[in-house]
Amino acid sequence: MDRIAITGGAPLQGEIAIGGAKNACLALMPAALLTDQPLTLTNAPRLADIATMRQLLESLGCEIAALQHGRALAISAARIASRTAHYDIVRKMRASILVLGPLLAREGAAVVSLPGGCAIGARPVDLHLSGLEKMGATLELREGYVHAQAQGGLRGAEIAFPFVSVGATENLLMAATLARGTTRLRNAACEPEIVDLARCLRAMGAQIVGEGTPEIEVQGVAALHGATHAVIADRIELGTYMLAPAIAGGEVELIGGGRALVGALCDLLEAADVSVEDTPRGLKVRRRNGIVRAMRVETAPYPGFPTDLQAQIMALLTQAEGESVISERIFENRFMHVPELARMGAEIAVHGGAATVRGPAALRGAPVMASDLRASAGLILAALAARGETVISRVYHLDRGYERVEEKLSAVGARIERLREPAR
Ligand code: UD1
């Protein structure tokens, strides 16, 4: 397994290009199942999770061509050869559940393995399933698989989510495009990835209004058609790299994506005395001379502070003057980076769903282990501020969501390299 070695202390200077959003792309790809015509996605990120979704769609009979060196994906579901999403692919990635709504809507039947537990909490899919039942599907759980039937097709329904779920909103939004009649999703997720999905579905002929608000209305149509759609910028990659100069010092311009994608982070950085400036191409972040101020952070659905940036902001707060409190409201058990940060000298205490960070801590390089995708990003950021060398193992987690992280950071002056495992 590859590792990443970082020697901290170098201020950063230059620019970093932000890629297409992994989580948007993972919802857009299954949308191709809704039509027998090709869907072409441009600005696709080249990531392990995208390859897994590709493998899953191919197992269902999709033909997928990677164009522009993998930056564009042309997906054709002219013929659905299988309605079963098998465990050996689904277990690799929870977003696999997103094929359920589209398959059921198009084929009237689907068998999808339930995604297993996951390191950042229980993460059930009950909202996806109960929403589909409201749309007329009959579901049966057998041997770890959801067997879904909707003979005669899905029908529109009123679905009020008890709490906000990005994945459930996406699954039901896709299913509703081909349902008979009107579907209303209440307390829907407002994330930019939902807006991107709705735009793509509309380009495919779907009738959707209200995306980006808690109430989305979908008028079902008989069929969708092909389209070409550009994936939005990855706000989590953007936020992660905004935090790099905030931690290491210096000034970095992030190219692609803007303030609207990361408003909550911009507000926190400015309150912590880190400058964020809009530029014609993106955002410029500069650590002012002084020390970063401590603060309170609470993760929340968009437009709140994203849980996917929680580990990264924690890395910054180890360098802030005073006591910061981070409350994790989306996923229980998402503090696995804390013991690793402590090995680098951070002072963090976890009480239930909150972490108290006392700073500024003099971080020292250490061998650390990545426990999940965003935790790895937090460790990289902390390593940029640490004295000496940090070696991060299990970077396959990182590769699921960050493209060429070592190239992007070394181009702005970070001392970072990938230690490749010798081929066996
Ligand atoms: C998506 C993102 C993930 C991000 C998360 C929150 C993708 C592929 N993943 O995950 O990176 O961290 O949004 O922004 O886009 N829940 C249920 N029942 C359900 C569905 C969700 O109880 O049926 C709970 C979850 O356990 C969690 C909360 O609802 O506590 C939010 O989950 P959700 O927004 O659905 O997250 P994901 O779609 O899994």
Interacting residues of 374 by C-beta distance below 8 A, sequence separation 6+: 236, 307, 308, 309, 310, 311, 312, 401
Q: What is the pLDDT of residue 275?
A: 96
Residues 270-295: b if buried by 16+ CB within 10 A, e if exposed = eebbbebeeeeebbbbbbeeeebebb
385 alpha carbon to ligand 1 midpoint, in Å? 31
Give kind and range of the element (H or E) at residue 217: strand 215-219
Q: At what angle do helices 22-31 and 100-107 cross, to 10 degrees?
A: 10
Testing ligand 1's pocket by substitution, the residue of 50, 92, 100, 123 carrying the most ligand atoms inside 8 A of its CB is 123
Beta strand spans in 288-330 (E): 292-293, 296-298, 320-327
Q: What is the pLDDT of residue 375?
A: 93
Q: What is the pLDDT of residue 119?
A: 62
How far is Cα 306 from Cα 328, in angstroms, rounded to an integer?
10
**Residue nearest atom 21 of ligand 1, based on CA coordinates:** 165
How far is Cα 127 from Cα 162, in angstroms, rounded to an integer?
8
Q: What is the pLDDT of residue 424?
A: 60
Which phi and psi angles does 73 have, rounded to 5°?
-125, 125
And the tokens for 415? 């001392």
Q: Are 186 and 114 in contact (CB under 8 A)?
A: no
Q: Are 338 and 298 in contact (CB under 8 A)?
A: no
Q: What is the pLDDT of residue 421?
A: 83
Residue with tokens 């994608």: 261
Rounded (10°) CA dihedral 18, 71, 208, 129:
-90
Q: What is the pLDDT of residue 57?
A: 98
Active site residues: 118
Q: Which residues line ligand 1 (CB under 6 A)?
A: 23, 26, 94-95, 121, 123-128, 163, 165-168, 306-308, 330-331
**Residue nearest atom 17 of ligand 1, based on CA coordinates:** 124
332 alpha carbon to ligand 1 midpoint, in Å? 11
229 alpha carbon to ligand 1 midpoint, in Å? 24
Mapping DSSP onto H, E and C, the string for 116-145 reads CCECCECCCCHHHHHHHHHCCCEEEEECCE
Q: What is the pLDDT of residue 423?
A: 65
Q: What is the pLDDT of residue 288?
A: 84
Q: What is the pLDDT of residues 106-165, one digit of tens each?
A: 999 999 999 865 565 667 899 999 999 999 999 999 999 999 999 999 999 999 999 999
How far is Cα 293 from Cα 121, in angstroms, rounded to an integer?
30
Rounded (10°) CA dihedral 250, 254, 258, 261:
-90
Q: Which atom of ligand 1 is nearest to the CA of 125?
A: 23
**Residue nearest atom 7 of ligand 1, based on CA coordinates:** 23
Q: What is the pLDDT of residues 34-58, one digit of tens each?
A: 999 999 999 999 999 999 999 999 9
Q: pTM, whole model, 2 decimals? A: 0.96
Low-confidence ranges of the chain (pLDDT < 50): none
- Taking only Cα atoms into account, the Rg of the chain, rounded to an integer number of angstroms, comes to 22
